[in-house]
Amino acid sequence: MKLWDLLHAAQFNQQFDVYVTNIYDQNLPIGKGTRAELMAQEELQTFGKDEFLVFDHLQDEVDRYIVIRSVMVVLVKDIYYEDYVENQYDKSYVKTWKREDVSSRPYLTSWEVEKRYMNA
């Protein structure tokens, strides 16, 4: 199933948290909000402080999804599915990442994603 198929079939006010994942369980956030907000991102140009857009990933395959506290967390596979996130960024930026410090890196592990909603 493509991300478009999932979003298109969802209720208008369904809350989503969408990530691009890889085989190393590194999940980059690409969108958060209702179906309507995610679909409108094509006009926004940015998502928060990141340069990712759900619109750019609508044709990506859904790898898996889970519903936690009424939020549907969706992980999609893109062209970098078999590559480390580190290989997609400048080496000087990657050197600042700390494995144990979530705020120092752009990705979350699946456990870190789920933990955000379990503690809410």
19-40 confidence digits (pLDDT tens): 999 999 999 999 999 998 888 7
Neighbours of 53 (CB within 10 A): 18
pTM score, whole prediction: 0.88
36-61 confidence digits (pLDDT tens): 888 876 554 444 444 457 888 999 99
Rounded to whole angstroms, the Cα distance separating 99 from 84 reads 14
Decide: 66 and 116 in contact? Cβ < 8 Å: no
**Total domains present in the chain:** 1
Kindly list the strands in the beta sheet with 61-68, ordered across the sheet, starting from the edge strand earlier in the chain.
28-34, 15-21, 71-77, 61-68
Phi, psi of 36 (to 5 degrees): -60, -45
Query: What pLDDT shows up at residue 42?
Result: 54
Q: What are the angstrom distances between the C-alpha of 22 and each of 14, 19, 33, 56?
A: 25, 10, 22, 17
Structural domain for 19, as ranges: 3-118
- Residue identified by tokens 């080496």 is 91
